[in-house]
Structure 1
Amino acid sequence: MYNYLIVSLLLITSSLLYIPIAKRFNIVDKPNHRSSHTKVTIRGGGIIFFIGALFFFLTSGLQYPFFFAGLTILAVISFIDDLISLSALLRFSAQVIACLLLIYQSVYDYNLPFLLFLLIAAIAFVNAYNFMDGINGITGIYSIGVLCSLIYIDHYIIDYIEIDLLIYTLISVIVFGYFNFRKKALFFAGDIGSVTLAFILVFAAYKLLIVTDSPYVLLLFIVYGTDSLMTILKRFYLKEKLSEPHRHHIYQKLTDLKKLGHIKISIIYLLVQLIISSIVIATFSYELSVQWIITIITLIIFAGIYMILNKVLIRSLQKEV
């Protein structure tokens, strides 16, 4: 408990110090046609997620060194990218190295095709989490729900990871929320925030997967996962380049067409995820065959929900025109 107080004070102090530093060096997010905000706002505030992880690493006897090395690589590259735009090749190379270190830390005795699948999935997860961080509050609020579920599973169901890593990350997101979960955010997470947070979550997910072999790992991220994957498939269908800006995510349409507030949309995403996570927790003791059936049915339902919402929102736009 003493360490939780220390890390809370450390993260609050770091946030307060970061604001004038970011202003001094013009580390800001300027709105463009893809943005859902209209005013220049400090970015890179998600650096406190890395600081929380660093505190864990130093106070835990240097646990998970390969994971932390990968996290550090991503944090440095992402922060530099927040300052100056780096090449896609450099960012991708850093992600590959970092995710290889993560897999080495968390996965043992699996065949090469499975390891390759985990590598691709980890890189995709990190990028999807970054792309979803498009409106004020969404990544922070959603991640609180995911972290609470992961912490509950570790504490009450099965010990699969050092719980302090998750708790320190949760504290860092809550502290971040004080500065971000408002109509006019004091700062945004930036790439360093969304990428490092995603890396920590995918590490926890892989640790849980290896210990349990449960497909429920997919359902713990189903809201973000569905919106990301279905949006990518839609862009392929429309023959759009994935590197180009777009407004196809459901949260973007809810903002643009329904004029819902950012925090309201973020809470909706959180509540939907918590409902599914509650089902996961309640049925975690079921046989794996039953878990697979529940997982597949849920994935199909969410894919259908995405397509229905997408059509309804497009029709509402056509009526307005």
Structure 2
Amino acid sequence: MTGLVRRYALARSILDVPNARSSHTAPTPRGGGVAIVLATLAALPVLAAAGSLPWDALWALAGAGGFVALVGFLDDHGHIAARWRLLAHFAAAAWALAWLGGAPPLHLFGSEIDLGWLGAALAAVYLVWLLNLYNFMDGIDGIASVEAIAVGVGGALLYALTGQPGLAMAPLALAAAAGGFLLWNFPPARIFMGDAGSGFLGIVLGVLSLQAAWQAPQLLWSWAILLGVFVVDATLTLLRRLLRGEKVYEAHRSHAYQHASRRFGRHLPVTLAVAAIDLFWLLPIALWVGAGGLDGLLGVVLAYLPLITLALKFRAGMPDSRAG
């Protein structure tokens, strides 16, 4: 399916042309993430009919993910003002939360805390931030696909660990769709994901994390750990740019992964490093928390501290010294 989308993008001249803020050097078709969207949306009803996905979760995932993908697709073909995109993102988050029954209870130091409407508001911000940071982090070949595969497989293992293997199929389906796209996006990429795919992955992973927390509250922390590479880099970059008074909605290339790719002169080492961190550092801690052996908040702190150190080492949020 990605190959067909690539032909479509080439025929319509939907190309990502390099500029001073780009991490690539040759015009490359974009929008390939539509294949991830279509493959996942096709799988979800099958899983629901087979009993591997609750119907309310199906409507949450399909409605929110499909709407975000549509907005991203239109933005890939033209331009939608940032305020309208943000409004659409919050509408998608509200839709998902309505079908999920709001925000799940927060599991903290052995207790469950129901935050009510405040929890729902925080969950909406969480979903919108996750889908946007996924867009921000989709800046070098393969990185967004690798992250989706690692988090999807990790989420499936968490369900198996907590005695709910049937529910593992939805995150596995998303990981499989991302894997198919990765064959075309692996460095050097033959097509880019585009806003439709990255936004879809971000909000779907977020909704899956909330669904998992409804099944077992500690799993929200586990999913936050699995997403650590993207959360830490994007959040730290945003905060440092805000402190410098920069317009955070403008394109830039100051994420840690972008600095790292320029330092190494290639995308591949950075993408493989993200995969290794996900597999050998974040996944074991997430499983530890999911099994109840470690408090979720402590697990997040343990998982994130080295990531913060690494992001600072690679100058997350700092201007490119070679720009301008």
Scaled to the shorter chain, the TM-score interval is 0.7 to 0.9
Task: Note the C-alpha offset of 1:78.
Answer: 0.7
* Structure 1: gaps spanning 5 or more residues: 1-13
Superposed counterparts of 1:137-176, under 5 Å: 137-159=142-164, 162-176=167-181
Q: Is the CA contact (8 Å cut-off) linking 1:107 and 1:207 kept in structure 2?
A: no
Q: Is 2:84 aligned against 1:90?
A: yes
Identity among equivalent positions (%) equals 22
SS at match of 1:126: helix
Using the alignment, how far apart are the partners of 2:96 and 2:2 within structure 1? 27
Q: Is the CA contact (8 Å cut-off) linking 1:56 and 1:164 kept in structure 2?
A: no
Task: Note the C-alpha offset of 1:168.
Answer: 2.0
Residue in structure 1 matching 2:224, options 215, 218, 226: 218
Partner residue, 1:10: none
Q: Report the RMSD for the aligned CA atoms in angstroms.
A: 2.4
Using the alignment, how far apart are the partners of 2:269 and 2:15 within structure 1? 24
Deviates more, 1:57-66 or 1:137-146: 57-66
SS at match of 2:21: coil
Q: Is the CA contact (8 Å cut-off) linking 1:69 and 1:98 kept in structure 2?
A: yes
Q: Is 2:48 aligned against 1:57?
A: no
Using the alignment, how far apart are the partners of 1:57 and 1:216 within structure 2? 23
Residue in structure 2 matching 1:279, options 281, 285, 290: 285
Q: Is the CA contact (8 Å cut-off) linking 2:161 and 2:291 kept in structure 1?
A: no
Per-residue deviation, residues 155-179 of structure 1 (Å, max 9, x unmatched):
2334288333222212211111111
Using the alignment, how far apart are the partners of 1:150 and 1:223 within structure 2? 15
Deviates more, 1:29-38 or 1:16-25: 16-25
Superposed counterparts of 1:197-236, under 5 Å: 197-214=201-218, 215-236=221-242
Task: Note the C-alpha offset of 1:279.
Answer: 2.2
Q: How many residues align?
A: 300
Superposed counterparts of 1:1-321, under 5 Å: 14-59=1-46, 60-61=48-49, 63=55, 64-108=58-102, 111-159=116-164, 162-183=167-188, 185-214=189-218, 215-256=221-262, 258-274=263-279, 275-286=281-292, 290-310=295-315
Task: Note the C-alpha offset of 1:100.
Answer: 0.8
* Structure 2: gaps spanning 5 or more residues: 104-113
Q: Is the CA contact (8 Å cut-off) linking 2:148 and 2:174 kept in structure 1?
A: no
Task: Note the C-alpha offset of 1:199.
Answer: 1.6
Using the alignment, how far apart are the partners of 2:248 and 2:258 within structure 1? 16
Per-residue deviation, residues 117-161 of structure 1 (Å, max 9, x unmatched):
000111011000100000111111122111110111122334288
Task: Note the C-alpha offset of 1:102.
Answer: 1.3
When normalised by structure 1's length, the TM-score is 0.86
Deviates more, 1:107-116 or 1:73-82: 107-116
Using the alignment, how far apart are the partners of 2:6 and 2:253 within structure 1? 29
Distance 1:242 1:26, change over 3 A: same
Per-residue deviation, residues 167-200 of structure 1 (Å, max 9, x unmatched):
22122111111111032x2211100111111121
Q: Is the CA contact (8 Å cut-off) linking 2:157 and 2:168 kept in structure 1?
A: no
When normalised by structure 2's length, the TM-score is 0.85
Using the alignment, how far apart are the partners of 1:211 and 1:164 within structure 2? 15
